[in-house]
Chains A and B, each alone.
Chain A
């Protein structure tokens, strides 16, 4: 018998992949480059995306996949300032 509380490691393994697959295939996100980790009933997502719409959609998609988990969306936005100087490769 597994101890009550935290899910067995194997379950977490498949949960992570279920979220990653959803984030890749859901047309609201189509994000393949996010890191998903599961700790008990908490899901943590990190990475960088271009728009606030897509950052917010990541949490929506993850919550649809795992309604019983607490989703922590730590995804940040692309930085798009012009560069201040170039690199001389001569």
Chain B
């Protein structure tokens, strides 16, 4: 069995040290890896990056993360990433990694993602340069995600690790006016085109855990205020994993 622990939006600050350390040290009893879906810090300062890196260093399972919007706020995202990588965390942005679990291979494609909204009510790369830049940022990240997932074909389980949501389903409870700032259908389209077994995201603190892409890929919002635990665990039997075929 493949056991994937996941959490997002832990928002570490200088006051957070030790908040999750005991639970993370015990991970091996519950999971084979820990995936962190962004917003590891409160506002992305180097000091906060160091605190969360200490929390994640030397854990008994591999740790893979993407950054979230809070991790960019201080314009020190490269430093935050360095702290995490020095602590042994694999940080993905348009990149992929694989984790072996008893001979089965779990492929993870990661990106922060970005906003824009959902089909029928979303931004278009039209008009002012600022609007085009906004939408094109999401388009570029979605393209990288699709490419990454395709490169993982052949893995027993493929996971898209995001911060922003690919679907509206998991935003239920958030105010509809802010949906375009919480995610984009372009991320779901990338997942559906390339195929995956699971898409994880955070960012939507008032949302719900469970959703599905239009193409049928399971989505889980693991924002900590949503899952109300140190992490949630999702399991797959490798021989029965979905292996969603590419649609395109």
Residues of A with Cβ closer than 8 Å to B?
27, 30, 33, 47-51, 53-54, 78-83, 85-90
Contact = CB atoms under 8 A, between A and B. Distances in A.
B233 A87 contact: yes
Interface string B192-211: 00000110000001100000
28 contacts: A30-B42, A30-B43, A30-B70, A33-B225, A48-B205, A48-B225, A49-B11, A50-B12, A50-B16, A51-B13, A54-B13, A54-B42, A78-B228, A79-B228, A80-B23, A83-B227, A83-B229, A85-B233, A86-B3, A86-B31, A86-B233, A86-B234, A87-B234, A88-B235, A88-B236, A88-B237, A89-B234, A90-B241
A83 B230 CA distance: 7
Contacts of B132: none
Given A48-B205, A50-B12, A79-B228, A89 B218 contact: yes
Contact of B26 (A49, A78, A82): A82
Contacts of B12: 50
Contacts of A51: 13, 15-16, 19
Contacts of B235: 86-90
Contact of B233 (A78, A79, A83, A90): A83
B224 A30 contact: no
Contact of B19 (A47, A80, A82, A90): A80
Contacts of A86: 3, 30-31, 232-235
B197 A50 contact: no
Contacts of B206: 33
B30 A82 contact: yes
A27 B45 CA distance: 10
A77 to B, nearest CB: 10
B240 interface: yes
Q: Is the interface of B mostly helix, strand, loop or mixed?
A: loop
A70 to B, nearest CB: 25
Interface string B20-54: 10010010001100000000001100000000000
Interface string B38-76: 000011000000000000000000000000001001000
Contact of B236 (A30, A50, A54, A90): A90
B187 interface: no
A20 to B, nearest CB: 12
B10 interface: yes
